[in-house]
Chain A
Amino acid sequence: MCRRRSPALTLPTVTDDLLLTARDLTKKFGDFTAVDSIDVEVRKGEAFGFLGPNGAGKSSTMRMIASVSPVTSGELRIFGLDPAVDGQQIRARIGNCPQKDLLDEELSVEENLWVYGRFFGLSRAEVRQRASELLEFAQLSERHADKVEHLSGGMKRRLVIARSLINNPELLLLDEPTTGLDPQARHVLWDRLFRLKRQGVTLIITTHYMDEAEQLCDRLVVMDKGRIAAEGSPRDLIDRYSTREVVEVRFDTDEHAPHAAPLEGIGERMEVLPDRILLYADNGDAATAAIAQRGIHPLSTLVRRSTLEDVFLHLTGRTLVD
């Protein structure tokens, strides 16, 4: 046991506010490397994101952090503990909102909270007290006695988040919290997550929605093919890897590649997508004017500010959502 703990000593000075450290963290499934030697640090009270497309290795990373999936190689410490040794202790202090809801749909909303709270060793009285507070928080109080199978997708997702808070976790893991939800349901969820953040809960979020990452995360890593492509705050990343504005140019055609050459030199950089051409420029209006000056008449031009989607596109040459 002692020998297995000793690697913790080789990590850089672990300050009190460092809640998670990963070094060379790797996850392999047979020959396939899902997570390829990543380094991550998450501080207490932070909202930290893993942004990347499906298959980037986000969920595999999350499951290792949740201490339900063994690390293949590298080091991982959560609360300074090694999941291979102290998995149960770590899980007791974590709230886990997995990608799949893992609800018992035959049971009622509140029964799901009660039984789950018991899994953490809470007493009957404690889970009842906690469940009614959390149902209030998740705006599900009126549905407390309904069977889960009758809830909408957004309500189920809120219930899963409520459930993940039953043990008053210090760290909340949210794996694709809003995937599959309509915009209104997503905004309700984001609002709840903001409240948690204000209460000082540390959040780790995976998402392939750049707006979600921008809204929720103080700091994030962009993941692609198991590796970390970039790290920083959303603003940092946009400043570093993109221009202030983007002009989206569309032509009345099936194929946009042939239209690229005449636009060459406008703005700092260009990306050609199947359905549009993106011109990266600090001044979008000036770029639009330059297009017109060259006598080019696109179907439409749209000036918008840069997003994390542009960062991802620049770093990987691909879009986040296929």
Chain B
Amino acid sequence: MSAPERLRALLAYHWVLFKRTIGGALVSRFLLPVLFLASMGLGVGNLVDSASGGVNGVPYLLYIVPGLVMVTAMNVAVGESTWPVMGFVKWNEFYRAMINAPQRVIDVLLAHWLMIAFNVLTSAGAFMVVAALFGGVRSWWSLAALPIAVLTGMAFSTPLFVVAAKATNDSIYSALFRLVVTPLMLFSGAFFPIDQLPIWMQPISWVTPLWHGIELGRAAFVGGPVPDLWLVHLGVLLAYVIGGAWVSARAIEDRLVT
């Protein structure tokens, strides 16, 4: 079997899972961002816009939609890269079923990451459709935010796979959501520019993926101008994706091939 044939075979399995779970997943994936869109975008937005004419002249709803697209990407990617991966590694150990067949660990991981990227893409895209109904999308340029959303999601996804290989149980995931995912959502520039944060908090945004994704996404949404630091933003995201993939692939290989 060639590598593309192996990937296709594994994706056929993930597709079965996708069809089975997408109904329930859509609801939970949309609920939070749509609530934010309604409460912050419309509620807080009215206050912000009437008091100061938006954020840097951009109406508040338009300001937060790109941020929420990236937050959705992060949430979906983290959700898909935590408990389900631990299931494949520790619980039903279905990754082992794959490598008992003529699949390699790297095939197994690539297929899973491709499927997660697809999940991120469809969720971010669907959220943008909802946001458009709220009047939060004004330009076809906004579509350029979709590949950035995939990159942002994967910057969380690939490093997280290492946890399934190393953790003794899944309690670490709850901590991850409380201590990493939620604070990042609030402090990565989705709802207000990070220069409003105390100076000592700003480095948190600099070294984590979400803020970089939001900066790029926000520029994409309006068709420019390209942010000064676009290369840095892109570099950080790619470093997380590639570095994470490398570390996780080694850890999962060590775990499965003993």
Residues of A within 8 A of B (CB): 29, 66, 68-70, 88-89, 91-92, 96, 98, 100, 102-107, 111, 114-116, 118-121, 124, 167
Contact = CB atoms under 8 A, between A and B. Distances in A.
Contact of A119 (B10, B20, B92): B10
Contacts of A106: 17, 20
B16 to A, nearest CB: 6
7 contacts: A98-B100, A102-B96, A105-B92, A118-B9, A119-B9, A119-B103, A120-B9
B255 to A, nearest CB: 12
Contact of A29 (B6, B16, B258): B258
Interface in B1-60: 1, 5-6, 9-10, 12-13, 16-17, 20
Given A102-B97, A121-B9, A89 B102 contact: yes
B199 interface: no
Contacts of B100: 66, 68, 91, 96, 98, 102
B12 A115 contact: yes
A177 to B, nearest CB: 15
A269 B223 CA distance: 92
Contacts of B170: none
Interface of B is mostly: helix
Contacts of B96: 68, 98, 100, 102
A278 to B, nearest CB: 39
A69 B257 contact: yes
Contacts of A88: 1, 102-104
A138 B137 CA distance: 56
Interface string B74-96: 00000000000000000011101
The 5 closest A-B pairs by CB, nearest first: A119-B101, A102-B97, A115-B13, A118-B9, A121-B1
Interface of B: 1, 5-6, 9-10, 12-13, 16-17, 20, 92-94, 96-104, 256-258
Contacts of A115: 12-13, 16
Contacts of A119: 9-10, 13, 97-98, 101-103
Contacts of B104: 88
A66 B96 CA distance: 12
A114 B17 CA distance: 13
B99 A102 contact: no
Nearest to A105: B92
B257 A121 contact: no
Contact of A111 (B6, B9, B16, B102): B16
A92 to B, nearest CB: 4
A107 B17 CA distance: 8
Contacts of B98: 119
A107 B16 contact: yes
Nearest to B105: A68
A104 B102 CA distance: 18
Contacts of A104: 92, 94, 97
A120 B101 contact: yes
A106 B101 CA distance: 20
